[in-house]
Amino acid sequence: MTRPLFETTLDMGVERKVAQAYAKHYHLKPHKKPAQALYDYDMVSAISDRVIIRIEIKGRKPQYRNLIEQNGYMLSAKKFKALQLLHGEIPVALVVVFMGSPDMYSFSFSPHKVQDVSFAIGGRTKKKRDDRDVEEVAYIPWKHFVKLEGRND
């Protein structure tokens, strides 16, 4: 059964702006993937249209970093493992932005960066939308994220 799409028009607008800023930073072109795809955008070469990197974009309110993500960025373990497998074909990056901040944080699924990722049961535990909101999650240490400055909304 397909899970309902919880992404809002505002979420998609933020994703689009982040994808454009990321593409500009690396001189690439963003190509949006269909709804409910494993990741959000293919970033392609401006010259050859070859996919250079795939990115998953996550927008967060600033308080989440201090409240629930002290041990690292929290991502569904299922998504983490799927993106990690996909990284073997073409590089995959997770891009996190905090609303109201001009900065982006990028994580590459390189093998040496995934060794100290921890797993636990978690997720959306307070305002559950459905039974799948509580699941195994991965905590990616913040030290593995690279700060990309200057996103302009």
pLDDT digits (tens, 9 = 90+) for 55-69: 999 887 766 666 556
pLDDT band at 26 (very low <50, low <70, confident <90, very high): very high
Name the pairing type of β-strands 104-108 and 146-148: antiparallel
Are the CB atoms for 111 and 88 separated by under 8 Å? no
pLDDT band at 71 (very low <50, low <70, confident <90, very high): confident
The CA–CA distances, whole Å, from 58 to 47, 90, 112 equal 27, 20, 22
What CA–CA distance (Å, rounded) separates 39 from 152? 22
**pLDDT of 135:** 82
What CA–CA distance (Å, rounded) separates 25 from 21? 6
Average pLDDT over residues 12-41: 92
DSSP state of 2: P
- pLDDT surpasses 50 at 1: no
Residue 97 vs residue 27, higher pLDDT: 27
Name the pairing type of β-strands 51-60 and 92-98: parallel
Contacts of 70 (CB under 8 A, 6+ apart): none
**pLDDT of 98:** 77
**pLDDT of 103:** 82
Angle at 16 between CA 85 and CA 45, to 5 degrees: 60
pLDDT digits (tens, 9 = 90+) for 83-128: 998 888 889 998 988 777 778 889 998 887 788 898 888 755 555 5
What CA–CA distance (Å, rounded) separates 77 from 148? 25
Instruction: State residue 84 phi and psi, 5-degree precision.
Output: -65, -45
